[in-house]
Amino acid sequence: MKERWGSRLAGELGQAWAIMAKDVRVYYCQPPMLMFGLLMPLFIFLSFSVRRELGADMSIAQLLTIVTFFTASSTGPVIIPLERRERTYDRLLTAPISLWTLVLGKIAVGVFFATLVSLVPLAIGVAFLGITLAAIPPIVGSILLATLTFSGLGVCFASLPGQSVGSIMMPSTLLRWPLLFVSGVFVPIDEIAPVWRIVAYVSPLTYTNEIFQQIFAEPAYVCPYGNIPVHQPTVGRTAAIPLVTSIVVLAVVAVVFVLLARWLHHVTRCRGA
């Protein structure tokens, strides 16, 4: 008997939600998740931000970039190999759910986790550094877009047929660390060598960084000094890419990563790995 598409869609969404809720319960407090998703971005930020003359707003923007990038892209490479090792991933593959649902459920885990972690620097900024969030929707929207993109990237890596976190995390790290240094997070794009600048423009992290930097530089969104509606320019900061361009590019990349993740997992499944 054919199932109606509306019913099927509702059912699949319910299943994706169930996968996400289960992963939240099972994996969010696992040591690899805390290591790769929480402590590592924090230490990276501290390592490269100490003694730099950044305002509170720009520090938080930078931290958000690092957190959304590292945390979201770590969940897939942590959770899926662990599930493969415990054979619980087979349970998902033999259930009557589409691969789309499975992939979207896994991406949602990363989005949810990274968004939660991203709220921490925001809360610190508001509570202790005198920052006022004048317009929350653009900030939250940017976080969601960035986490969606990088969670998709992480799930792409997780399609590699490995049963240990290290076997997936190693190639993932090989890509993520260089991107961190050529995407304008620590060194502005216009200060890096021209050849690396080309790489910067194909890196989604560049656009994420631009979005957060520009949102936090815009008084209409974030007031860096309490309620004073006057923006104090942060040292060394100029917009390299228009905000709208960055959002559009990141959205396109997010869609590409989601499609790619689904395709890669399909290939892996066909190979039976």
- Interface residues toward other proteins, by CB under 8 A: 11, 14-15, 18-19, 22, 25-26, 86-88, 90-98, 269-270, 272
Specify whether the CB–CB gap between 161 and 268 falls below 8 A: yes
Minimum gap (Å) between residue 21 Cβ and other proteins: 8
Minimum gap (Å) between residue 19 Cβ and other proteins: 8
DSSP symbol at 2: P
User: Distance (Å, rounded) from C-alpha 89 to C-alpha 256?
Assistant: 24
Minimum gap (Å) between residue 161 Cβ and other proteins: 12
Specify whether the CB–CB gap between 162 and 168 falls below 8 A: yes
35 phi and psi angles, rounded to 5 deg = -70, -55
Q: Which two tokens stand for residue 57?
A: 């707003």
Nearer to other proteins by C-beta: 94 or 227?
94
Minimum gap (Å) between residue 93 Cβ and other proteins: 6
Minimum gap (Å) between residue 37 Cβ and other proteins: 17
Residue given tokens 């979005």 in the structure block:
211
| Count of residues in the chain | 273
Nearer to other proteins by C-beta: 11 or 130?
11
Nearer to other proteins by C-beta: 96 or 137?
96
| Residue 109: other Cβ atoms inside 10 A | 29
Minimum gap (Å) between residue 165 Cβ and other proteins: 16
Specify whether the CB–CB gap between 250 and 211 falls below 8 A: yes
Minimum gap (Å) between residue 156 Cβ and other proteins: 21
Minimum gap (Å) between residue 76 Cβ and other proteins: 18
Nearer to other proteins by C-beta: 18 or 119?
18
Report the chain's terminal Cα–Cα distance, integer Å. Answer: 32
Q: Which two tokens stand for residue 150?
A: 């990088």
Nearer to other proteins by C-beta: 220 or 273?
273
Residues 6+ apart with CB under 8 A from 241: 206, 207, 210
Nearer to other proteins by C-beta: 176 or 265?
265
Nearer to other proteins by C-beta: 83 or 210?
83
With CA atoms as reference, report the closest residue to 212 among 130, 127, 150: 150
DSSP string covering 100-148, please?
A: HHHHHHHHHHHHHHHHHHHHHHHHHHHHHS--EES-HHHHHHHHHHHHH
Nearer to other proteins by C-beta: 24 or 120?
24
